[in-house]
Amino acid sequence: MSELHELGVAEASKAIAAKTISPSDLVEALLVRIDKLNPKINAFIHPTAEAAQAAAKMATEAIAAGRSQGRLHGVPFAIKDIYDTAGVATTGHSKLYKARVPQQDATTVAKLKAAGAISLGKLATHEFATGGPCFDLPWPPARNPWNLDHFTGGSSSGSGAALAARLVPAALGSDTSGSIRNPAAYCGISGHKPTYGLCSRGGVMPLAQSLDHVGPMARSAEDCAYLLTAMQGADPRDPAAADRQPENFTATLDRSIRGLRLGVVRRWHERDMTGDPAQIKAFDEAVRAIEALGAETRELDMPPLAEIDACCRTILHAEAFAVHREDLRTRSMDYAAMTRMRVLAGAALTAEEYMRAQRFRRVLTLRMTEAMRDVDAVLCCVYPAPAPEIEAMAKGPAMAFGPRGIASPFNITGGPAISVPCGFSAKGLPLNLQIAGRAFEDGMVLRVAHAFQKATDWHKRAPAL
């Protein structure tokens, strides 16, 4: 068997069920690795070693006695520090809430624990899931395990770093304009933004509530499907959570993609942006690999990225300012400078501008839905280049909003989208493929991603640490 830290969710689940390893074995191996590597990666800000050991002991005893709670019983995960965790600090990676200790778990955390998963602790994020990377916060920013001088992507930065470094097989992230898929792209892991409303945001710090999504991050699409199956469901704590019949997202993963119709969107990285040649080559090779599996592809046009991005940013800034207005009024200097600047941008927006953006969002959604009418899923990039250097990302107002990526279209529509690795640059940095779909067709998106990953090994590669 591989070293225990190399096991993904599905592999760990099967090994625990077969009793070839125990939850205690796995948790101990990961805690040793966290102690060794986290000081240079900064992925964890609140490890919970003692609680994890106690939970692992209970899981080991229960499974040995034939009382398994299901496929996630004994599988470790870690949590972006905007998800409430009972008795464990939930800070938003911010000085403002450094001492905040919730009394109740976020709904998705509770669901994973109810399925038997074991929390290893809280992960770094960009402050309140927005500005970053910042060096003027109580904890340093997470660093990219493929090259510590490079950016992880954000805002689920600790989740991406912890997964790439094999500190944990699964993590929770959030995505308002790409914050699951961006670190997945830069860190060479798999991150799935579910359909809006599929997973409850109850107990998760909001950023922009009409754009916020919560979802799984892991090594593979299969692992994401294991997690998503447990995380989904209606919740009175989140009025936007959809009341739908639960799906087993692993049940359809192995269906052939032969005959599926896939739209390929190149305009966003060829006409609207200037893509890095290595990323464009890797994307084209990924498309060919998917075609070799029998899928039919066709070029698909979409609205200009500048229109989508402007709409998304207007909504995001207006809603984020509404969330933070009181703290900005009373404690503005406790925010990191970059966060403060980003959130204050919403103060300049009028109600009319916000409503116009929301109306335009509907227009964009209809246009993108119409473009996708005759295809089963869409292929595009998340970012048209590998990860930049972290120091450059932390500088000055010009960089504070970061390079535009290609994640926001699917926050606007609310449809599902996953980022998976599809190659490496000459400097050894991960390159990315995004697969997106129509609302509540998460199973289709995961199926295409899984087929690609069965045919390639990019997701199996790990950084040398």
Distance CA 198, CA 245 (A): 10
The DSSP symbol for 95 reads G
DSSP labels for 381-425? Answer: -S-SS---BHHHHTSHHHHTT----S-THHHHH---EEEEEEEE-
Residue 298 backbone phi and psi in degrees, to 5? -145, 150
Q: Of these residues, 22, 94, 119, 155, which one is catalytic?
A: 155
Q: Of these residues, 24, 94, 174, 179, which one is catalytic?
A: 179
Distance CA 161, CA 89 (A): 20
Q: Of these residues, 24, 80, 156, 159, which one is catalytic?
A: 80
Distance CA 164, CA 169 (A): 9
Residue 121 in contact with residue 131, Cβ under 8 Å? no
Distance CA 203, CA 247 (A): 23
C-alpha distances in Å from residue 155, one per residue of 132, 133, 160, 184: 7, 9, 9, 11
For residue 155, indicate whether it is catalytic. yes
**3-class DSSP state for residue 297?**
strand
For residue 460, indicate whether it is catalytic. no
For residue 22, indicate whether it is catalytic. no
Distance CA 33, CA 48 (A): 14
Q: Is the peptide bond before 155 cis (omega within 30 degrees of 0)?
A: yes
Residue 185 in contact with residue 382, Cβ under 8 Å? yes
Residues designated as active site: 80, 155, 179
